Amino acid sequence: MRLPRPRGPLSSHLVTLLREPVRRDRALDDVAATAVREAETVLADEDVQLGLLIVQELSHDGLDGVDDGWERSPDVVSARAVLEDAVEAELRAEVAPAVQQILAEARRDPATAIFALTDDAEGPSLAGHLQRLATRRELEEFLVHRSILQLREADGHTWLIPRLTGRPKAALVEVQSDEYGGGRLERMHAHMYADTLLAAGLDPEYGRYLDQVPATTLALHTTARMFGQQRRLRGATAGHLAGVEATSSMPNRRVAAAVRRLGLGDRAAAYFDEHVVADAVHEQVVVRDLCGGLVEQEPALLEDVVFGVLSCLLLDARMATAVLDAWETGSSSLLAEQPDRLGAVG
Ligand SMILES: [Fe+2]
Ligand SMILES: [Fe+2]
């Protein structure tokens, strides 16, 4: 991935620093803390979310022209913790009342309680709008938003596998194996999404559209990685995946219909068709065997499982609201491509 265009002091500091050979930079911690302090909400702050994505990228794809050694730099590790702790704290505060509301029921029957949450998921239906009303341009914008997640589909949750044993581990491996195409590249979901982008005339390179993707969408990506890479958050990671899988089948049916209605064809729809079928199974395996099995082994994780589910639903709803609000006023839901739009320095 290319280094993205900065969106404020934190991402600007990182983009400049990471071009240099690995060295100590004691200022980074302060820059990260200031960005967190000055953000109205870290979940939707352009500079915080982009800064977090940049440091997380060091543990995933890496960044063009950036020394891989930066991943282990104590200053980068520390800044990442500052950002992720702030994101986690805000998420916990946002969903705390809903977590408490469902906890007693979840103790009796975790799977039923999780399905009740995902079935009742509030928030505007982005997929419903796409199916019925969206223009071709809106559908393309939607594909660009999702490109940041889907071209690296499943990776965030895969970090959880080595932290599990027994039934929950077998369940997660089963689901992730499907996500990665069961060993067949052409069935790998990330690869299928690249095919969708190509069929829509868009660029399938990961990160190609990063500069246009706003924080409310980046937060879906950074949160999955933040959960997945911390053993402490294994309950939340499982719950987050349950949120993803259990709200996927029906919306993907709608998006597949939108893709066909707008003339993009079967090849572009194949990714969405696949999820209608696959995720009807995945939601059962993830909710019952991964989450249920994990809570059976470690009952103390129940609260975090519920926290993970609700975090996923909250961020999905925020993203959908932001996109639909923009479209309602006739605007683009993406960030403009001009370099100075956000006062950034390059
Ligand atoms: Fe998938
Ligand atoms: Fe899935």
Secondary structure class of 9 (helix, strand, coil): helix
Question: What type of residue sits at position 273?
Answer: D
- Residue with the two structure tokens 């079935």: 119
Q: How confident is the model at residue 342 (pLDDT cuts 50, 70, 90)?
A: very low
What does the alpha-carbon distance between residue 327 and residue 135 come to, in Å, rounded to a whole number?
A: 10
% of the chain exceeding 90 in pLDDT: 95
Report the half-sphere exposure of 203 (CA within 13 A, side-chain side).
Answer: 7
Average pLDDT, the chain: 95
At 6, which amino acid appears?
A: P
The ligand that comes nearest to the alpha carbon of residue 149 is 1
Question: Chain-centre distance of CA 149, in angstroms?
Answer: 6
CA 323, 249, 144, 18: dihedral to nearest 10 degrees?
Answer: 100
Distance 275 CA to ligand 1 centre (A): 6
Read off the pLDDT of each residue in 27-44 and give the average, rounded to a whole number. 98
Tell me the CA–centroid distance for residue 47 and ligand 2, in Å.
Answer: 30
Q: State the ligand closest to the CA atom of 284.
A: 2
User: Where along the chain do its domains lie?
Assistant: 106-328
CA neighbor of 77 nearest in space, from 46, 45, 52, 44:
52
pLDDT above 80 for 39: yes
The pLDDT value recorded for residue 120 is 81
Q: Tokens 């581990």 — which residue?
A: 169
Would you say residue 70 has pLDDT above 60? yes
Ligand nearest to the CA of 280: 2
**If you measure from the C-alpha of residue 185 to the centroid of ligand 1, how many angstroms do you get, rounded to a whole number?**
13
Four-point Cα dihedral 31, 9, 214, 313, nearest 10: 20
Neighbours of ion ligand 2 (CB under 5 A): 279, 282
Residues 153 and 179 sit within 8 Å (Cβ to Cβ)? yes
d(Cα 276, Cα 166) in Å, to the nearest integer? 28
Residue range 248-297, pLDDT digits in tens: 999 999 999 999 999 999 999 999 999 999 999 999 999 999 999 999 99
**Separation of 324 CA from ligand 1 center, angstroms?**
24
Given 1.25.40.320, 1.20.910.10, 3.40.250.10, 3.30.70.20, which CATH number is that of 106-328? 1.20.910.10
Residue 343 has pLDDT above 50, yes or no: no
- The model's pLDDT over 143-154, given as tens digits with 9 standing for 90+, comes to 999 999 999 999
Indicate the pLDDT class of residue 337, thresholds 50, 70 and 90.
confident
- Residues 6 or more apart whose CB falls under 8 angstroms from that of 52 comprise 80, 83, 84, 87, 218, 222, 226
For residue 264, the 8-state DSSP code is -
- What's the rounded Cα separation, in Å, for the pair 201 and 209? 13
Per-residue model confidence (pLDDT) at position 333: 98
What is the reported pLDDT for 121? 78
Instruction: Give residue 317's identity as a one-letter amino acid code.
Output: A
Tokens of 53: 């994505």
Determine the distance separating the centroid of ligand 1 and the alpha carbon of 282, expressed in angstroms: 9
Taking the centre of ligand 1 as the mean of its atom positions, its distance from the CA of residue 94, in whole angstroms, is 27
Query: Which amino acid is it at 309?
Result: V
> What is the Rg, in whole angstroms, of the alpha carbon atoms belonging to the chain?
19
Residue 80's pLDDT is 98
Q: In this predicted model, what pLDDT tens digit does every residue of 310-326 receive, in sequence order? A: 999 999 999 999 999 99
> Residue 109: CB partners within 8 Å, gap ≥ 6?
none
8 Å CB contact between 1 and 54: no
The 10s digit of each residue's pLDDT in 153-203 is 999 999 999 999 999 999 999 999 999 999 999 999 999 999 999 999 999
| Residue 94's pLDDT band (cuts 50, 70, 90) | very high
Is pLDDT of 106 > 60? yes
Q: How far apart are CA 230 and CA 317, in angstroms?
A: 24
Percent of the chain with pLDDT over 70: 97
